[in-house]
A and B are shown apart, each in its own frame.
Chain A
Amino acid sequence: DTAVSQTPKYLVTQMGNDKSIKCEQNLGHDTMYWYKQDSKKFLKIMFSYNNKELIINETVPNRFSPKSPDKAHLNLHINSLELGDSAVYFCASSQDPVGVGPGELFFGEGSRLTVL
């Protein structure tokens, strides 16, 4: 059983379109995250939810909207896609928010988004 799963794994779309990436974790964790990894492999935090509540919202354009219907799911919707949105988006989860407990982040396999 995959611990953190994301769909789709690959997404190719045109500029201006709207797309969503879904994430589910079956680890029973309370905290979930979205990270963006650019072409230079730099992983940058976008959002974090704890028990369905938004706790981190970095300076991300408001075209990006996360939604957490329950603590096992955190989806990412992107409106009006731009070329610069091309990246790999990683979902992750942890038992507690990092630094609160000793637990680490578990990452999904990533969703590679290409905007043409």
Chain B
Amino acid sequence: GQNIDQPTEMTATEGAIVQINCTYQTSGFNGLFWYQQHAGEAPTFLSYNVLDGLEEKGRFSSFLSRSKGYSYLLLKELQMKDSASYLCAAVYQAGTALIFGKGTTLSVSS
């Protein structure tokens, strides 16, 4: 299988920085996505990494190391509205589907 592991829960305070890690099996790996899902809503796209390195998009950044099978999502200047589940997802073969991790529930408090 293509196990994708991420922490189940994380907590942080407003204004802080949080890093959500994701590890995945490297064999056949073809790209990594991060999605945000608020309770009762659809997942929405945050980022896509296929090459090693850091992709920055406003307060959110995503990093990928293909050789290590590792990615992280970095959220800066946390706001209460960032409380949500963050889903790491990998694609293993072009033309197949995204395989999701079980998600990390982030709670931001004031």
Q: Is the CB of B48 within 8 A of A104?
A: yes
**Smallest CB gap from B50: residue in A:** A102
How many residues does chain B have at the interface if contact means C-beta atoms less than 8 Å apart?
A: 27
Q: Is the CB of A48 within 8 A of B97?
A: yes
Chain B at the A interface: mostly helix, strand, loop or mixed? strand
**Smallest CB gap from B40: residue in A:** A110
Q: Is the CB of B31 within 8 A of A44?
A: no
How many residues does chain A have at the interface if contact means C-beta atoms less than 8 Å apart?
A: 27
Q: Is the CB of A45 within 8 A of B94?
A: no
- Taking the complex as formed, is A98 at the interface, i.e. its CB lies under 8 A from any CB of chain B? yes
Q: Least Cβ distance of A74 to chain B in Å?
A: 13
How many A-B pairs with Cβ below 8 Å? 69
Inside 8 A of A97's CB, which chain B residues have their CB?
A: 94-96
* A24-47 interface bits toward B, Cβ cutoff 8 Å, 1 = contact, 0 = none: 000000000101000011111100
Q: Is the CB of B96 within 8 A of A107?
A: no
Give the residue of A4, A55, A98, A108 whose beta carbon is less than 8 angstroms from that of B98. Answer: A98
Q: Is the CB of B91 within 8 A of A99?
A: yes
Contacts A43-B87, A105-B43, A107-B42 supplied; 4 other A-B pairs, CB < 8 Å: A41-B37, A41-B85, A41-B103, A105-B98
- 9 closest A-B pairs by beta carbon, nearest first, are A99-B94, A107-B42, A45-B97, A104-B45, A97-B95, A99-B91, A43-B100, A99-B30, A98-B91
